[in-house]
Amino acid sequence: MINSRSRLFAVFGDPISHSLSPLLQNYFFSKFNVNGVYVALRVRPQRLREAVAGAMAMNFAGINLTTPHKQEILSLCHHQSPEARLIGAANTLVFKDDKIHAFTTDAAGFLVSVRTHLARFSGSHVVLWGAGGAARSICFALSRLGVEKLTLVNRTALRGEELAAFCREHLAIKTVALLSPDHPELAESVTRAGILINATTMGMHPVTDAAPLMRFDLIGKHHFVYDLIYNPRLTRFLFEAEKRGAAIQNGLDMLIHQGLAALQIWMYTDYALDDRMYHEIVAKLSAELI
């Protein structure tokens, strides 16, 4: 029950109407007896500084960041966790003693989400679309999973080169390549890779006809295709991959586990989901998807 002692939390993003984070976190609050309320707020990139200052002024207990704020937020923070500093992106803020502390839980959420597919990653070749904050966290996670070769695909060369340099200099991935979406070598890379990951917003509701890869004939039964998007539950990328026999997964499980990790940071408590709670929240979130 919301009252005058309820602690305030929010997620900042643009767009934000698709977000299931309020449903997720308010479920956690009810199950773990946290007197809090969590909302989604649209914050345009040019207003991020004002929005964070306003949240501090109103004594918010915690903030999540989603697209497009995960990298830009670091310039506003007084302290960064070692992982956020290394990755160069954050999705979780804590306000303490008039200071902004930044953390990232995306990599941890991804690692838990692929727990039943771990054998696919060791020594594998991964093609990853995107070069934003989420993509940087996924690259960090892939290095921990023992991926041997990583092909990055990004429309903006400069941002792609920055991520490729980060992977080569700081992550234990043997081979890192960068290709544009229309590069002639991309088809061969996709065919040879075992894992395809979309870390862009292409295919997110409401623009559901889009996909990072339109050559669906390149996808086969040997592929594991992962899309960080969770709304729609079956993006065109996943739909076409499944039709061709690939194993697929959307970003819902990652959302749940990165959200739980954020709550643990805010409340300094090691909350855990039992099987009943996990299946209950999956059902609640899935009911909201198209």
Point out the residues that are catalytic: 70
| Dihedral sign of CA atoms 74, 78, 80, 85 in order | positive
Distance CA 20, CA 289 (A): 9
Give the C-alpha separation, 86 to 90, whole Å: 10
Q: Which residues, 6 or more positions from 238, have their beta carbon under 8 angstroms from its beta carbon?
A: 225, 227, 248, 249, 250
With H, G, I as helix, E, B as strand and everything else as coil, classify residue 179: strand
Please list the helix, strand and coil fractions of the chain in percent, rounded to the nearest 5, in that order: 40, 20, 40
Instruction: Report CA-CA distances (Å) from 117 to 27, 33, 174, 225, 259.
Output: 27, 33, 21, 11, 21
Quick one: which of 166, 10, 29, 173 has its CA closest to 95? 10
Helix pair angle (21-31, 252-267), 10° resolution: 50
Q: Which residues contact 178 (CB under 8 A, 6 or more apart)?
A: 151, 152, 153, 154, 157, 160, 161, 163, 164
Q: Residues 87, 93, 98, CA angle at the centre, nearest 5°?
A: 125
What phi and psi values does residue 92 have, to the nearest 5 degrees?
-140, 130
Closest of 70, 49, 87 to residue 201, by C-alpha: 70
The phi, psi pair for 11, rounded to 5°, reads -115, 130
